Structure 1
């Protein structure tokens, strides 16, 4: 199942390649949190509808609520997708970049396995990977001290 999801992700990311925007544009806003090389290898795409793999197998695993949830953004590997009304929201970008760091640290299969397991067992709002992203984006939003996010994610996972 995870390979099927990864193939869907790769196909989705490839489809949107020409629309990707490099996150290096946030080098000033996120300079105390994300190294430039990390931002230069991270991308976002503005879409009218957040792409999600809607497979019967996923629904039978009990993640229908997540699939059907109205999300402001979603991350697949080093690319995340945001809705037009969120494209200027730095907190959303910061949050999704935490997920880019998580994907990078864990690798695709391990990230998907852990993320799905957390959502199944604890629900989206209590999933540790999500809680980490929400805590860090809140820290940023409240002008918290700079933290190297990719390093923090690596040390925390």
Structure 2
């Protein structure tokens, strides 16, 4: 199960044709090439806020096991992580802005921290978020396997990213 952190926070939403949707919903994906220094984590969080990112899908975080450094602040209070259990390699994370009222329903990860699937609701709509970091070799085999897992896991609208 992925680790989760959260600080809480408000979630402004607007009424749009009889259904609630997040205002200005923006998904951002990036291979961050390691986030083990406080400066790099702080710079990333500032960049996400400046670009008005709602959901950040991050690959190659390089966190180890359950000992993820703090990658959250009052603007991005909720994060889910899949990390390699023993080494500072691979790893993915999905961060939610305080403007996104995300409610987690289910998760799926891979033991080596190569993918993270989240299923949850935002303003009464169900979404599946997939953050994937594929290996350099045998990518086709890896992606075929992962996409089959995602097909079984997913529900409603998918948001998938990865290099």
TM-score, length-scaled by structure 2:
0.28
TM-score w.r.t. length of structure 1:
0.28
- Greater per-residue strand proportion: 2
